[in-house]
């Protein structure tokens, strides 16, 4: 792997969230923020107090619903641990523990290794009249790519190209157009996952994304990607559970 782009130690666990057919997006998000996030925060605080493995950071991204386009996920939770957290025998929420899990399809964790390519800071403003967290933030335009590998892909070669060729290409464009932040996440067990990784690009507004698309050039990474299953989702809001 590239010496230039270092991995974040530990594991970044990603939980892709989709609401049940009978639930509305507002119901899902409201119960995520009000009921589920506080319980997760409290649980991680207990784990830390007992000297057990616990999340050091917890952020949830809410994906925008785009007219005329199928957005397969409503959001994703990301939790950072010092090592991979195994999934339970049944997906989380199979037997709902709170109203959020009554609104969400059962979900599992996706263990990834994070590479922060551009470490642009995003604001963290705790609440002042209630508990500091969970809190929210906006004022950015985020594009998330879920990246599937082609059938029979050599994952080692794909990850090497991603970090040594594609990520520097993207970083150069992001720096040129004033992009805010760029993060790459590689699946720790790509052969067992739907996606071999994920890319997260942050801009100050949608115009940044348009500038990116008109500036980026091909660098060979698409040879490793199943473009027919590539997922591209937009977001303008996040919920912060544990700021890190």
Other Cβ atoms within 10 Å of 176 Cβ, number = 12
pLDDT digits (tens, 9 = 90+) for 49-97: 999 999 999 999 999 998 878 899 999 999 999 999 999 999 999 999 9
pLDDT digits (tens, 9 = 90+) for 141-174: 999 999 999 999 999 999 999 999 999 999 999 9
Closest CA to 16 of 72, 94, 76, 104: 76
Which CATH topology does 11-242 take?
Answer: Alpha-Beta Plaits (3.30.70)
Q: Is the pLDDT of residue 12 over 90?
A: yes
Closest CA to 154 of 195, 113, 204, 190: 190
- Angle, CA 51 vertex, CA 48 and CA 57 arms, to 5°: 30
Average pLDDT over residues 22-28: 97
Domain ranges of the chain: 11-242
């Amino acid at each position: 792997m590239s010496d230039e782009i270092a991995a974040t130690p530990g594991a970044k666990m990603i939980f892709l969230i989709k609401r049940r057919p009978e639930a509305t997006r507002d119901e899902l998000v409201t119960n995520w923020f009000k009921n589920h996030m506080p319980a997760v925060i409290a649980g991680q605080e207990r784990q830390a107090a007992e000297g057990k493995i616990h999340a050091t950071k917890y952020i949830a991204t809410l994906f925008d619903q785009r007219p005329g386009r199928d957005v397969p996920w409503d959001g994703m939770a990301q939790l950072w641990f010092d090592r991979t957290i195994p999934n339970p025998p049944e997906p989380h929420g199979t037997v709902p523990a709170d109203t959020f899990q009554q609104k969400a399809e059962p979900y599992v964790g996706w263990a990834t290794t994070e590479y922060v390519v551009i470490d642009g800071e995003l604001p963290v403003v705790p609440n002042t009249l209630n508990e500091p967290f969970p809190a929210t933030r906006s004022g950015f335009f985020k594009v998330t790519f879920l990246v599937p590998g082609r059938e029979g892909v050599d994952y080692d070669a794909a990850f090497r190209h991603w970090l040594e060729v594609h990520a520097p290409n993207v970083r150069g464009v992001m720096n040129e157009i004033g992009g805010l932040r760029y993060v790459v996440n590689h699946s720790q067990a790509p052969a067992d996952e739907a996606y071999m990784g994920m890319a997260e690009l942050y801009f100050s507004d949608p115009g940044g994304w348009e500038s990116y698309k008109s500036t980026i050039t091909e660098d060979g990474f698409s040879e490793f990607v199943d473009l027919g299953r590539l997922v591209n989702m937009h977001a303008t809001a996040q919920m912060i559970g544990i700021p890190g």
